[in-house]
Structure formats: structure tokens, C-alpha cells
Structure 1
Amino acid sequence: MAAASHKPLGAITADDLAAAAPGVDAAALHAALRRALDSRAGAGDPAAVWGELCRSLLRPDVPFAVHRMLYYGCFAGFPSPTPPAWTPDPKEAALTNVGRVMEVRGRELLGDAYKDPITSFPDLYKFSNENPEAYWRMVFEDMGVEFSVEPSCIWRESDAYPGGEWLPGAELNAAANCLNAKPGRSSQDVAIVWRDEGKDSEPLNFMTLEELRKKVCLVANALDALDLPKGSAIAIDMPMNVNAVVIYLAIVLAGYVVVSIADSFAAPAISTRLKISEAKAIFTQDYILRDDKELPLYSRVVEAKAPMAIVIPVRGSLPIKGLRVSDLSWQDFLGRVNDTKVENYAAVKQPAYAFTNILFSSGTTGEPKAIPWTHITPLKAAADGWCHMDIRKGDVVVWPTNLGWMMGPWLVYASLLNGASMALYNGSPNSSGFAKFVQDAKVTMLGLVPSIARTWKNTDCTAGFDWSAIRCFSSSGEASSVDDYLWLMGRACYKPVIEYCGGTEIGGGFVAGSLLQPQALSAFSTPAMGCNLFILDGSGNPLPQDSVGIGELALGPVLFGSSTTLLNADHQEVYFNGMPEWKGKVLRRHGDEFERTCDGYYRAHGRADDTMNLGGIKVSSIEIERICNRVNDAILETAAIGVPPIGGGPEQLTIAVVLKDQSSQVEDLNQLKLAFNAALKKLNPLFKVSSVVVVPSLPRTASNKVMRRVLRKEFTQAAQAKKSKI
């Protein structure tokens, strides 16, 4: 934190406040600041002073420039690079899921070492790794997970699985667990709350758990009427709305496998995923409605030469034009169900390792890795929500996402398996309509990616809305910015942001935050429960755990919910070959570069390999380069680099270009950038080139591999040098 240039709180004057936020009552603000300082006189604790300022002064309607000035002033000269922006209150900590369980079972689990939930949280993390049997059994009991056949144990060594076997002998159905009322909840409690864009002044829509169960059973019966073999892959290419959630749960309930496809994908990307998964059918819509515009979706599915499509009309009962002979309308699909079977369905009981979902994550070969989720994976997602985001019975959880990305299924399971309501807004999250939805639905946990927060901050579209029901935010997908998330916390009277980093192949996170620990901006306070983290040194060996350092991240292989196979790649080769050992076990490759700070926080520094993170989507450089190389005949080759902006935030895409004729000049780099962006729309419309740089050659290894890491470092240093001259 670069706070040295900021005035300490005691030195801030009314004139400073007036200059930072013209038009405010600077004298009144300054008087309130003095009162806050006097109330903590002699405490010598900047975190306590900051907490007092958050409670007494920094309301959402106070200009952000004041929030920023006081935050940096409070921690000016702070000895740590990660000052706490939020500190847990002992009384509130005892009410969290973890705190509540620890108050009852703390001594049973941790012995005489147990003190209180906050003090003993690090001991519980250690316990989760050393005693997986007791830890996970405790979590399952508290979440109310039901097994059709109980596992013989929670975990055991196994030659068939690098990290051992989880839940051996168990049979269950993850979707059925979502549809059962949790202890302390009833079937009449709200399962889903939603609103459509453009209807922001209308009442919210609600669906009870019983209503959800009946709709899922109806779709499950209709699926069986298609006469597909059990275990068949069935794709979903839709926005994440109520119908998509119902279809998702029905596919799993009926013993089929969901194929997740993001609704932003163009036809070639859809086709690739359908072929890899061997999908037998696909659910889709005729259009996606955004700002009352109809964006074609079914036509993309047809262009992708998809198998049988079940098509939902986005405008209610209007007939769908141009259906292929092999396709079904939503009405005809549901009409196949015998009336006597409409509201009930016997869930298909399956072994714990049976597939439920095929998701895709870009690798470095250009073809997306097909990652199967099992019935175990949803329990990992929900357990992360239980522990790290403190998703409780009766909560309202929203996370703008899509079933094509892991956070879509994560949201389904993390909310419903914890007895919470899932909140869905059918429209853009970058709008005042979404901000009003968060207010009206009384959202308690708001998840997002940093680019959304940055848009809210820049457009001020959240102004005037009451977000006081929020207990915490959570953030995933990209590196976040300190200033953006300081602003975000201020919208909800300084509730914490739980940073969350993981992967599709994990089904959740490997590093996160907790409501039982102080939370610093753009930093992670703890490894995820049940996960050992290792930072590798320059020789590829793990540094001592809990030591300060920076390097490529590796994971302990005993990781509940993590993948054990890939459909189109060698799982052992991708994640384990060439990795070092720790205590006789080969570590699991992840690929992010991470830092452990001197005060025990973790910071992410982007990908250590040649995979970038653009807008929360992992994509290989090779995929982008293959497209860019064909944009102009004058191009010899390109290198796609994700460069973090100065001050932090999501990676920005830079294309390094080598020309065939070194003596020629590119007169208009902006035109080349526009051409790259037009071409990349075929890969994903969300990918945008930030800058284009012409270089004489690409740095390479002795084996002729492009060293994109070198280019990333050069471009980052150049951006820093340019900024220092401004």
C-alpha cells in the first residue's frame, strides 16, 4: 500500500476535505473526524480508528474521495503492506456458521487449545487438513447433506486417485440434496427470487422450494420421455435464469450429465464443446433479451450443428419460428409428460464419483479442457460458501454469472445446499436496475468480478440504493483493485469483501477470506479449508509453509472435490507430472503466481504459464494468437499477453506483433487493434485488445518456446515508467 504520500488522519484539515470533495460540508466532516479520533485517543490501533470511522462517518452518500483520503490517512506509515479494511466483531463472529459450530464443538475438535472462534480459526484450518474425517463429517452434518448410501469413511488412501479417495462407497444425488428442506427451513421457504430487466419497478418474483421441486420433477420426467440412455450428456446454452436452473437440477436429478456452455459463445466454440462432450441434446432460448434488444441464440446453436435442441421462447407463449425438424419447442417438450407424473420424480442415486456436469477451462493447447464434475464437487462448492462466505439458512445470494462458467453451478449449490435463496437478475449487472434488485431482494451475500465493481464505481449506478442488508461481498475471476473495492465496501457501510480464487477443476477455491479474520483489500486471508498451499521457488521446490515468498503456486493433492480425470487430456500429465513432492505426495499443479506477505496474507499475480484471465475467463494465449496471426498478411507472428494495469485490477490484453518485413511500418496501430477485436469476437465477444505493440522478434527459449513471461514483464515495466513521467 503506497500510503507514504498521504497525510496522516491527525493532519487532515477541513480545507483538505473541501478540496477532495467540493460541495460537501467540510467543517462538519472534519468535526466528525476529530470526534472519531478522540474516541480512540491513546488506542494506537489504526484498525480500531478505521472501524470507528466506518461506523460513525463514512456513509455511502459521503463522496468517495473522502473515504479514500481517510483510509489512506488512517494507515499512513502502517508497517504492513496489507492493512485491514475490515475487522471481525467477536459477537458477530460467534453467529457465523463456523463460529456457531466452534462455540459448540470447539473443545471437542481442538481440545484445550480452543479459545474462541476468532482466535482459534487458524487452528480449525490446520485441523481441516490433519483430520479430514472429522472436519468434513462436521460440515456435512451442519449443512444437512443426505446420502442414499453412507460412505464407509470420508477419505482413504488409494492408488486410483493421486489425492486419495473421497466418500468411498457413498451414493447420493446432488440435485436431490438441493431440493430437500434443510434443518430449520421448510419447503415453503423461498428458493429463488428474481426480476427481469426493464421491470425494475415491478414486484419481485419468488419461487418456494416446493415449487422449485415440482418444476424440476416435471422437467426430469420430460427428459426421460426423450428416451436418452441414462448418463447421456445434455447441454445448456442459456442465460442464467429460473428456467436454466430448473433444467440444470432436472438433468442431474434424472441421472444425466449437464454440459455447460456460456451464452456468450459463438457457434465454433459451441460446436467444439458439443463434440468433446458428445452431447445428445441441448437446451437453449430463441433470443437473449438485453435492453429490449433480441440477441440471437438459437441460430448460433443451429450454426454449431447441435443435436436435438429444446428451445424456450423468451417472450412467453409466442411461437418459435424456423425450428429444425429434429428440435422441440419448450411447450412440446413438457407436453410429453404423463399428467400422473408431473409433480414427483425418484432421484437417480449414483456413486459419489459419477459425473454430473462437464465444464470447460481453457488450457495451453488451444482446445478447452473438458472437466467433469461429480456428485462430490457440489459439496465442495457449498462447503466453501458455508465456511468462507458464511452463507446461512435464510440468506439471499446473488452472483452475476452463467452456467457456462463454474460460478454458475457454484451459485446453485452454495445457495440451495445451505438453505439460502438464490437471487437472479435477468439483465446486465452493470446497471441501476441490478443495483435496485440487490436492494429490493435484500441480498445478504453479493458476489461479482472486479470489472463489474469498476463499472459501478465509474458510472455511479448504485447511488441512492440501500445495500445495508449485505453481510459480505465476494470476488473471484480476476485480480481486484484496492481503490475499487474500498469504494465497493463503502456502498454497504463497510462490509468485507471475501476474495475467492480457485478453478473449475477444483469446484471451488484454494484460497479465500473469512468473516473470522481481518480482511485486507485485494488480498486473501487464508487457504481454503482442507487445502494446503505451496509457493514454489525458482528451482520448482516448495518453500517452507507459512514463509514469505513469491512464485508459482502448487496445491496439496488431498483436496476435497478436485478433479480426477479430464475428457480430452491426460489428467496426470496436466496436473501432476514434473511436480515436486511434499511428505511423500506429489503436489498438484495450478499455475497462478502467488505471494505470501510478511503478515500472512496472499496476493495473486496472474498466471505463471501462458494462460490469461480476461474478464474472469481463462483463455490460452495460443487460442488468441491463432486468430490474430490471420488478421493481416503483413503479420509474421503475434504473442498475446495479459498485462495487469498499474494500481491493480483485471488483466488487459496486449498483442505483440512481429512483421514479415522488418523495414515496413504500421501506420495505424489503432486500425490493427480494431481488426484484432473484430476477429476475436468469433472466439468470445467479451475479449477486447487493450493495446498493440510492434516488436522486432519474440523472446524464445532454447527449445523455441515463446517466453510470454518476459514480454509481460517488459510491458508492465514500460507502463510503470510511462506513468512515473506523468
Structure 2
Amino acid sequence: MRSFFPNYELSLKDPETYWRRVLEASAEDIYWAKWPDKIFEWEPPKPFKWFVGGYTNAGFSAVSYKIRKYRDKPAYIYYSPELGVERKITYWELYQLVCDYAAALRAAGVRKGDRVMVYMPNSIEAVAVILAAARIGAISTTVFAGFSPKAVADRIELTEPKIIFTQDYSLRRGRRVPLKENIDEALKISPWRPEKVVVKRALPEAEVAMEKGRDLTLDEFLELGKYTDCSPVFLEANEPLFIMPTSGTTAKPKPVVHVHGGYQVWIWHGAKLVYGLEPGDVVFNTSDIGWIVGQSYIVFAPLIIGATSILFDGAIDYPRPDVFWEVVEKYRPTLIWTSPTAARLLMRLGVEQARKHDLSSVRRVVTAGEVLNPEVWRWLYEDVFQRRVPVIDHMWQTETGGPIFGYPYALVKDMGYGMEYVKIKPGSAGQPLPGVEFEIVDEKGNPLPPMHKGIVVIKRPFPGLTPTLWKDHERYLKDYWQRFEGRLVYYTGDAAHVDEEGYIWFGGRADEVIKIAGHRIGTIEVESALLTHPAVAEAAVVGVPDPLRGEAIAAFVVLKPGWRPTEELKRELIEHVRRTFGPIAVFAGVEFVNMLPKTRSGKIMRRVLKRVWTGEPIGDISTIEEEASVEEVKEAVSRMKILAETSRE
């Protein structure tokens, strides 16, 4: 195994030395009230521990520890194009706000270890609640402000929050989303009862029901803390910072735990190595604080490093198709952090939207969430940024807290003109970060050589990896850790292969790999092949049952403007893919749709495509961006099946 990241070999051969060096390097940014006694400790099946005996607080590192250096510097620039609201807050103002929230939480009876739930869109107030909870040793859990009442109820039941923060309404593409009403409905479903529900009024003219004795407006809540102190609580490095439940489908979501010590060190480590993040940076991250990307690289890491973040609340193409690029010109970010699906949407809208605006502030673009298809990478790198800035794909999970595969920004920023140059391979997530020792294995756990597709497993813990699930360590061991030939390994659930130069290529989730007559093809590989056709703007594929071959490919395609959906074009697309994969690429059909079912965070909901085909219950789709996309898929599947029946006759 190899990696182009500096000190990778040291991190595996002598992790004690490597992580002590990282601790020392990060000491200006991460505050330790007591320096750790021990780097790592693990006695399976107990949870592993990092930086044992050290005392810190991620909320303190992010705010109080920064005001001496960055007092009058903007910490956040909030912008909502739909509300027409812009607001800036300095590090000093953020410190004061966090103190107010911390005091009010304490006055409301919240203590170390109590859970605080946040069900709000991206906003300064939501960030302040998360940081204030951390400051007093409470455990936050942030729920994406698009989940349905049932999904929220599941998370309430899992985490049992003492207090819930929400908003009256949010706006999404001109529609009101009734967040407070969703909380009320969720509390009718869940057996757990919080002591307080705090409501931010974003639309004061709108009516909202308030339950006497339980519900408070945000102003009423802050009044509680008027005479209460906001002093921080320093916690042992392995005490919980927040719980981030994964998105469940049929099973209950998994309540992933991240802790104060290892999480802080890991997100700092990734920010420095992959993003090259410095205090002078302005970060435009299009994620949501309800997802791990928003938690790590909107809330905590940029503040810990002393950067400025653009806190964007809205859709990147509404109310104008060039809103994304407007933000870049107006607020001058140096780092754009977005999802591949968002990039595909921007590509579909056309490069002319980007060329209306001054993008000269941008120094790098990073993406994660799904594979950045080579065609989309080339569009960003060549058409939009004209080969001026690196476009860096990388990979991580909710469970890892930060990046585990990527490219070292310090070695790609010269784009080949400097002495130290790392080649970016479009479609590859790069190589492992220091501390990440991995293998590609088959279904029996046997290691596979380069160019063989299998499942990614990680052979040892690293500081960002979740050590447990909230109150369910047994499920954590069962779902994530597997013993292969006496070795205990972390099972990522992602399918990939490694090429001869050590680059990793992800093909989607292991359960999304399409198995055609014994051949394994990744969904991402087929989608990337479709995207190289000049007619295709977006594509999603799934494997569907085939009586002869086990599975076949069902493809759903969004066309670029100017192209017409025809039977001839369907045949052309199938042949186009077969030129890449050969005759093993057997299609159940190709259908054209106007939109794909995607979450608001930009991930294609392939399970929806597959379940529509098989007739299984679709499950919770409350995170979906456009509900109409599901109806489109149902009609497309119906057409596909009719054509298949006709051809058999």
C-alpha cells in the first residue's frame, strides 16, 4: 500500500510519533486544557480511544480560543436568496452569541451529557446552538431541516433530547416548509417528550402554534440566561461532542457518535492536507448543517482554523439559475466545497451562467458525497475555471467525520508546473490519508490485487472514526466491524478498486453494484460513461432483476437542452456504454426523464429507482428535492417494462 500524502508510511509504522506531531502542529488551533497522556487505547470489543486523558472542548476551540487573534474578522456571512437576507457576524460577535445561548441552555436545566436537538436550516442561530451545547458539555444532534415528521420522530426517540430548537418555517423554491408543525407532528409519534421546544421566527407574519409551558420563542429562551454564567466545561477527549444519525431507509437510522478529541484533530488534519485551509480563506460550502459535511466543514473546522464561512441557505439554482455564481462573485470565496450532483446541475444549466460572473477569487474546488464523474470534473476544470485551479475529489462518510481518501492540496495546487506534482485522475478519489490503512477484499474477506473490484475495508481505527453508536455498541460492532481470518476490520460498505499506481476508484455502495451474469459493474462507472455522450446532462442507473443474467441495467437519463428523446437515441446511448464495457453491459432499458430523484444534499436516490422497479415500499423520501421526480420515475419504469414485454413477444 502507498500514498502520495507526506508521512503516510510513518503514520502506519509509528502512529504514536505521527499523531503526537499532529497534536503539536494543531496546538495553535485546538485548545487542550490538559495535554493527552496516551495517544491510543483499544481493548476490543470495547470502544477504542484516542488522546486518552486529554481535556478539551470543540466549542471552546472554535470560538473562545480564536477571539484574541480574529476578534473583528467575519466568522460567518449568512445569505438567503429566497428571504433576501444577508448578515455578517465577527468572531467576537459570535463569541457573545454563543455565550448567550450557553447561559440560556444552562438556565433551562441542560447539563453535561444532555442532548440538544437542532432542526433548523443553515443559519447563524443554528450554528450558535451547536457551539453553545458543545461549550457546556451537552451533546448536540442536528437533524436535516427537510426530514418528515416520521424521520424526525425516529431521531428524537434515538437521542432523547432535553430541548429542541426549530424554526417556524423555511423557504424552499418558493414553498413554505412548516418546521415547527413537523416537530409537533413528530412529538405525537415519538414516545419521548422534551422539556422545551424553542422556535426561531423567520416569518413573523405567519401563524405558528405554540404549546403553553413547553414552547418558547428564541427571544424568550435567551431571556432565561440573563443572569447565568456561560463558562466552558472541558471534557475528556473521548466524551461525546455530537450524535449524527445516518439516513435510514427501512431500518432505524444509526446514531453515529463523534467525540471532542479525535474528531477535532481529524477534521483539522483533513482540512490542512486535502483543502489547504488557512485563516485567510473564505469557504463556500453548499452542504447543510444537518449532514456531516456541514457539521465538520461549516460549523467546526473553518472556525477552529480561523477562516470565514459563507452560510448559504437555499437552492443553488433558485430564484435565479446563476445564484451559485452570484454568491462566488459577491462574497469572494477562495474555496468552493460542493457535491458532484450539484456540479452536474450547474453543468446542465450551462457554462454561460458561470461566465457572467467574476470567479477570480477561487483557488480550489473540492467535492465529495458521490464520485465526481470525469466529464463533470473536466467541465469544472477546463470550461468553468479554464485550467486555473485544481478540482479535487475525495471520499469520506458520516462515520469517519472527515476525509479518508483524497489528494494533497499542497502538491496539486501548481497543476503540474511546480517541482512537487501529484497527478489528479478524473473519477478517482485519490489515495489514503495518513492513518488510513485499507484493503480491497472480496465477499469472503480475501484481499484483492490491483484492478480487481471489491469492497473497501479499513484495517485499524483512526482519530476521526466513530468509536460507537449512541447507546448501542453491540449494533456498532455488528454493523461495522467484521472478522476475516482472525483480523478485525472496519467495513465501509463501498465498492472500489485500486489501479496500478495506487489510486482508488469507487463504484458506488457495495449493495448498488450491478451483477450481470457474474460480472460486477459499478453504478458510477455506467453513469460516467453515459455522461460522456454529448446529449446527456445527468444519468442514474440501477441493477434490476433479469431472469437470464441475474441483473440488467436500468438507466434514467436527463437530456441537455436541444436534444429530443427518441428510440434511436436510446439505442445510441446503449451502444455508447457498450463501447466502454463491451457486451456485458446488458440493459433492461433506457428512459428519459426531466429530473432525477435527489436529496437536497445532492445525492441521487438510487434506492427509489430500484424500489419503484421491484414494487417494494419506497420508504421515507422526505429529503427529496423534487417530489415530482418520483412520479417521473414511476412513469419511466412503466414504459421500460412495457417495452421489455413487447420485445419478448
- Quick check: 1:267 aligned with 2:169? no
Alpha-carbon distance between aligned partners in 2 of 1:386 and 1:184, rounded to the nearest angstrom: 22
Q: Deviations over 1:352-390 (max 9, x none)?
A: 111111111246762111111111223312221111111
Q: Deviations over 1:464-509 (max 9, x none)?
A: 1122221211111112221112111232333122212111111112
Alpha-carbon distance between aligned partners in 1 of 2:40 and 2:273, rounded to the nearest angstrom: 20
* Structure 1 pair 192–167 and aligned structure 2 pair: CA distance change class (3 A): same
Gapped runs of 5+ residues in structure 1? 1-118, 613-640, 659-667, 698-717
Do the aligned partners of 2:98 and 2:131 also contact (CA within 8 Å) in 1?
yes
Alpha-carbon distance between aligned partners in 1 of 2:503 and 2:41, rounded to the nearest angstrom: 31
* Aligned-partner residue type, residue 286 of structure 2: P
Alpha-carbon distance between aligned partners in 2 of 1:646 and 1:248, rounded to the nearest angstrom: 38
Alpha-carbon distance between aligned partners in 2 of 1:678 and 1:610, rounded to the nearest angstrom: 18
Measured after TM superposition, the shift of residue 680 of structure 1 is: 5.4
Do the aligned partners of 1:193 and 1:205 also contact (CA within 8 Å) in 2?
yes
Matched ranges for 1:195-210 at <5 A: 195-198=79-82, 205-210=87-92
Measured after TM superposition, the shift of residue 593 of structure 1 is: 0.6
* Structure 1 pair 580–284 and aligned structure 2 pair: CA distance change class (3 A): farther
Alpha-carbon distance between aligned partners in 2 of 1:246 and 1:183, rounded to the nearest angstrom: 15
Q: 1:493 aligns with which of 361, 372, 386?
A: 386
Matched ranges for 1:334-483 at <5 A: 334-338=222-226, 345-362=230-247, 366-375=251-260, 376-411=262-297, 412-430=299-317, 431-460=321-350, 461-483=353-375
* Structure 1 pair 679–558 and aligned structure 2 pair: CA distance change class (3 A): closer
* Aligned-partner residue type, residue 215 of structure 2: D
Do the aligned partners of 1:500 and 1:524 also contact (CA within 8 Å) in 2?
yes
Alpha-carbon distance between aligned partners in 1 of 2:282 and 2:613, rounded to the nearest angstrom: 41
* Aligned-partner residue type, residue 562 of structure 1: L
- My pick for the range that moved more, 565-574 or 453-462, is 565-574
* 1:235 alignment partner in structure 2: 117
- Quick check: 1:170 aligned with 2:50? no
* 1:504 alignment partner in structure 2: 398
- Quick check: 1:532 aligned with 2:437? yes
Measured after TM superposition, the shift of residue 133 of structure 1 is: 2.6
Do the aligned partners of 1:364 and 1:610 also contact (CA within 8 Å) in 2?
no
Alpha-carbon distance between aligned partners in 2 of 1:429 and 1:579, rounded to the nearest angstrom: 44
Q: How many residues align?
A: 533
Do the aligned partners of 1:479 and 1:648 also contact (CA within 8 Å) in 2?
no
Do the aligned partners of 2:135 and 2:232 also contact (CA within 8 Å) in 1?
yes
* 1:591 alignment partner in structure 2: 493
Do the aligned partners of 2:368 and 2:394 also contact (CA within 8 Å) in 1?
yes
* Structure 1 pair 160–210 and aligned structure 2 pair: CA distance change class (3 A): farther
Matched ranges for 1:3-402 at <5 A: 121-143=4-26, 144=28, 145-159=30-44, 161=46, 164-181=48-65, 185-198=69-82, 205-305=87-187, 307=194, 308-315=196-203, 321-325=208-212, 326-338=214-226, 345-362=230-247, 366-375=251-260, 376-402=262-288
* 1:575 alignment partner in structure 2: 480
Alpha-carbon distance between aligned partners in 1 of 2:424 and 2:466, rounded to the nearest angstrom: 29
* Aligned-partner residue type, residue 606 of structure 1: G
Do the aligned partners of 2:343 and 2:376 also contact (CA within 8 Å) in 1?
yes
Do the aligned partners of 1:180 and 1:187 also contact (CA within 8 Å) in 2?
no
* Aligned-partner residue type, residue 605 of structure 1: G
Alpha-carbon distance between aligned partners in 1 of 2:528 and 2:274, rounded to the nearest angstrom: 29
Identity of matched residues, %: 25
Q: 1:552 aligns with which of 447, 455, 464?
A: 455
Q: Which has the larger radius of gyration?
A: 1
- My pick for the range that moved more, 644-653 or 259-268, is 644-653
Q: Secondary structure at the match of 1:549?
A: coil
Q: Secondary structure at the match of 1:167?
A: strand
TM-score by length of 1: 0.67
Measured after TM superposition, the shift of residue 575 of structure 1 is: 1.6
Alpha-carbon distance between aligned partners in 1 of 2:112 and 2:78, rounded to the nearest angstrom: 32
Alpha-carbon distance between aligned partners in 1 of 2:306 and 2:453, rounded to the nearest angstrom: 39
Q: Secondary structure at the match of 2:624?
A: coil
- My pick for the range that moved more, 460-469 or 522-531, is 460-469
Do the aligned partners of 1:657 and 1:693 also contact (CA within 8 Å) in 2?
no
Q: 1:685 aligns with which of 624, 630, 636?
A: 624
Do the aligned partners of 1:643 and 1:651 also contact (CA within 8 Å) in 2?
no
Measured after TM superposition, the shift of residue 599 of structure 1 is: 2.7
* Structure 1 pair 126–648 and aligned structure 2 pair: CA distance change class (3 A): farther
* Aligned-partner residue type, residue 493 of structure 1: Q
- My pick for the range that moved more, 475-484 or 425-434, is 425-434
Q: Secondary structure at the match of 2:99?
A: helix
Alpha-carbon distance between aligned partners in 1 of 2:544 and 2:506, rounded to the nearest angstrom: 24
